[in-house]
A = this chain, B = another copy of it.
Amino acid sequence: MNRMPLLLCLALLLTGTLGLSSPAKAEDAPAAEPLLQKPVCRVLVAYHSLTGNTAQMAQGVAEGVRRATGAVAVVKTVETVSKEDLQAADGLVLGSPAYFADVAGKMKTAIDDWNWKMKVDFTDKVGGAFSTGGGQAGGKEHVLISLLLFMINNRMVVAGPLYQDKEGDDKWAELGATAMTGPLDPGVGEKELDAARRLGERVATLAAKMKAE
């Protein structure tokens, strides 16, 4: 259905050919360079973590980002994120533990300032969310939703990690990546890290697509 990428390759091959006929020109036309090599796509993974569980999920997201060709992952706690980090990011994945069924207050305070104080313009950056929490229904998913709405409200586009069954008959996405931790659970598990990786890969792939236009 979408044959544009193919056509683009064709166009690039043709322009590439022109370029090859006079290679010296390459230096004279640096503007054409990004067409010849995939532009670097940067994804910032920003999180809040007290016990290390959310930090562990953040590393999983970063691994997933790096799976996407040409994507670079930067992992930081929200308090250490700078205006430059945010401006340089094509994708942004936010993670918080569930404190009383919503984003940790300290995290929300930090990210509120990204617009209030830092005046960052997030328009069309691609976003995703992850969370951790004790209990089976203690608000981990509500945290995802709050973070996704935060990003939509900041003019971003958002999405979730992709899944499909072994036969490829059934395909779906989830709202983000969550890990159950705390008294009822042994901690961050392999399936939960897998979700984090899928989330990172998804956001990086979409961010590259949005940037490639």
Q: Which A residues have a C-beta under 8 Å from some C-beta of B?
A: 1-20, 31-32, 34-36, 38-39, 67-69, 87, 99-112, 115-116, 121, 123-124, 126, 135-142, 144-146, 148-150, 152-160, 162-163, 165, 170-178, 183-184, 191-192, 195, 205-206, 208-213
Among B11, B155, B205, B210, contact of A12 (Cβ-Cβ < 8 Å): B11
Q: Which of B99, B135, B173, B213 contacts A4 (CB 8 A)?
A: B213
Say yes or no: B18 contacts A31, CB within 8 Å.
no
Partner of A135, one of B38, B111, B137, B174: B174
Minimum CB–CB distance from A188 to chain B (whole Å) comes to 12
- The answer to whether A105 touches B110 (Cβ under 8 A) is yes
* Interface of chain A, main secondary structure: helix
How many Å lie between the Cα of A156 and that of B4 in the bound state?
A: 19
Q: Does the CB pair B31–A178 fall under 8 Å?
A: no
Q: Which among B12, B116, B175 is the interface contact of A153 at CB below 8 angstroms?
A: B175
Known interface pairs A144-B137, A152-B158. Does A12 touch B12 (Cβ–Cβ under 8 Å)?
A: yes
A9 lies within 8 A of B12 (CB): yes
Q: Can you list 13 A-B pairs, Cβ within 8 angstroms, ordered by A?
A: A7-B31, A7-B35, A13-B16, A101-B153, A105-B108, A105-B109, A124-B206, A136-B177, A148-B152, A149-B175, A152-B159, A155-B173, A212-B213
Distance in angstroms between the alpha carbons of A16 and B16 in the assembled complex: 6
Q: When the two chains form their complex, are residues A149 and B153 in contact, meaning their CB atoms are under 8 A apart?
A: no
A137 contacts B146, C-beta separation under 8 Å: no
B172 touches A155 (CB 8 A): yes
Closest CB in chain B relative to A141 CB, distance in Å: 3
Shortest A36–chain B CB gap in Å is 6
Give the shortest distance, in Å, between A99 (CB) and chain B (any CB).
5
Within 8 Å by CB of A138, from B104, B106, B153, B211, lies B153
Question: Chain B residues with Cβ under 8 A from A110's Cβ?
Answer: 105
Complex Cα distance A178/B34, Å? 41
Expressed in whole angstroms, the Cα–Cα distance for A2 and B160 within the complex equals 17
